[in-house]
Amino acid sequence: MTGDRPVTIESVALWFPGDEAKVASLQELDELPIAQREHALSLGIDTVRIGEGHSEVDLAHAAAAEALRKSGIDATQLDALLLVEGRVPQYLLASEATRLQRKLGASRAFTSTVGDLGCVSISAAFTFAAALLRGDPRCHNVLVVAAAKSPTRSRYRSPMTLLGDGAAAVLLTRSGTGLYEIVDQTVRSDGRYSDLFRIDYRDVRAADWVEECADEPTYSFRLAVESRKRFTEINAELLARNGLEQGALSAFLMQNLSVGAFAFWGEALDVTIDPVCRGNLARFGHLGSVDIALNLERAAGAQAPGDHVLVMNSSPVAAWSSALLRRLPDAPRGGE
């Protein structure tokens, strides 16, 4: 068994479509009611990338190929490949995970998908990857890949955020080197909110798909209160389990929804959300599971060896995750 070996994030690769659009010029915002358009423009998102003509697997492949290039690993050397499920599969019944496997050339990798938890799906994928690395002595590396592409014509998700397109790939190993050690992680979920956000797609043309919030007051108030309670409990347990105080942490990261969300969580949890999150929100919008990987990669350069980072991730389905990471001393510096 390899349970005593550290699981590390060796590298993170990001890939974005070249087409960048200013949010203020998005035509679909002009079709929204005035109140929604004003809200969309107040989220703190300046630009988004648009992957027109690219499938989510295309985006995932580009990020995965870059991750392997950065790490100097051939695709045939991958022991496991985990694809975080996207917002809408290209086909029903077909396998997007094995399509990515073939495009990448990861012929011997154990391949599967992890999903159904919204933004928290990447956190679940890290849990899955860590279990493989700790439990199987033959497994030396796992590539976790996530892609985000707006599933509907409108990128505005009322009353929450505005969606961008992009992808990330995270290589996890048990080498003890890289960007971060995954010290500990907790993932929780609650089925009472399982269909709070949804797209009715049966007997509806794809061009007419709409992201709907079944109950905006429930999202804005009841789920917010529930999430504050969950994070307070999860974070306290996580830190106590690892003998750390909240004040000893060097950074707090989370997914990128809006400047209002950062302000809410900062006050609710008595923390300061790292400014790298706000910068990534402004440049890329909300990228689902990709947000966490993006923020980790872009924040790494400002952290000293040994620094502990708390990464909080939540989803309106609803699910919550907090992960405790330690910055490694011999990692390459992240950044632009």
Whether residue 70 is found in the same domain as residue 107: yes
- Among 178, 202, 235, the domain-final residue is 178
pLDDT, block means (10 residues), the chain with 336 residues: 74 97 96 96 98 96 97 97 92 96 98 97 98 96 97 93 98 94 98 93 92 92 95 98 98 98 97 98 98 98 97 94 92 42
Determine, yes or no, domain membership for 334: no
Residues 12, 41, single domain; the answer is yes
Alpha helices in 112-205 (DSSP H): 121-135
How many other CB atoms sit within 10 Å of the CB of residue 137? Answer: 11
State the pLDDT at residue 2. Answer: 41
Q: Are both 228 and 137 inside the same structural domain?
A: no
> Considering the domain boundaries, does residue 335 fall inside one?
no
pLDDT per position as a tens digit, 191-229 = 999 999 999 999 999 999 999 999 999 999 999 999 999
Within-domain flag for 83: yes
In sequence order, what are the beta bridge partners of 14? 168
For 315-332, letters b (16+ CB in 10 Å) and e give bbbbbbbbbbbbbbeebe
Asked if residue 229 and residue 170 are part of one domain, the reply reads no
Is 3 inside any structural domain?
no
Q: Of the candidates 145, 178, 211, which is a domain's last residue?
A: 178
Q: Is 218 part of any domain?
A: yes
Same domain membership, residue 322 and residue 186: yes
- Please report whether residue 12 resides in a domain: yes
pLDDT for the residue numbered 318: 85
Domain that holds residue 14: 8-178
Closest among 313, 268, 288, 278 to 197, alpha carbons compared? 288
- pLDDT value at residue 80: 98
Q: How far apart are CA 290 and CA 56, in angstroms?
A: 12
Do 39 and 71 have their domain in common? Answer: yes
Q: 166 with 228, same domain?
A: no
The answer to the question of residue 1 being in a domain is: no
Whole-prediction pTM: 0.95
CATH of the domain at 124: 3.40.47.10
Per residue in 91-121, pLDDT tens?
Answer: 999 999 999 999 999 999 999 999 999 999 9
**Residues 25 and 102 reside in one and the same domain:** yes
What is the DSSP pairing of strand 319-327 with strand 308-315? antiparallel
Q: 189: phi > 0 → left, psi -120 to 50 → alpha, else beta; which?
A: beta
Same domain, yes or no, for 190 and 170? no
Number of structural domains (the chain) is: 2
Are 148 and 20 contained in the same domain?
yes
Within-domain flag for 336: no
Residues 89 and 145 in one domain: yes
Q: Which of 178, 212, 230 is the last residue of a domain?
A: 178
Q: What confidence score (pLDDT) does residue 334 get?
A: 42
Based on the fold, state whether residues 139 and 204 are members of the same structural domain: no
